[in-house]
A = this chain, B = another copy of it.
């Protein structure tokens, strides 16, 4: 092997250095709506719009976006990764388990709790992930 020339930045393969039509296309398509969309979906929409972009490239672009914080990603109950453009404001998601409708929520309470709890256990530089899942009003009345 004798791998690892390791110039000093061991694990940072995620930094776009050139701008391309394809990457912009994916970014734009994602920004076109504010809902969570799957890679396959984006790929299809792009194709339908005439701006064909390879599926692999869509996956890469989406990952890069999520990685740089420009997009949020999570797993749909069906098991697909879904992405959405993300505002700068830190927030969490409240997702309907039935229709998938998503609401952005914020909570000073959680933020504080996270800080406090972590600190109390000797942890620093805390990040947190919070997912709320429930049934929204329309779905509740419909299905029962």
This chain's copy number in the assembly: 2
A140 to B125, CA, bound (A): 10
Number of contacting residues on A, CB 8 A? 37
Given that A79-B81, A94-B118, A117-B94 are known contacts, is A123 also in contact with B128, CB under 8 Å in the complex? no
Say yes or no: is A133 at the interface (Cβ < 8 Å to chain B).
yes
B134 touches A124 (CB 8 A): yes
Given that A75-B77, A75-B79, A79-B79 are known contacts, is A121 also in contact with B133, CB under 8 Å in the complex? no
* B-side contacts of A122, CB under 8 Å: 136-137
A132 touches B114 (CB 8 A): yes
* B-side contacts of A6, CB under 8 Å: none
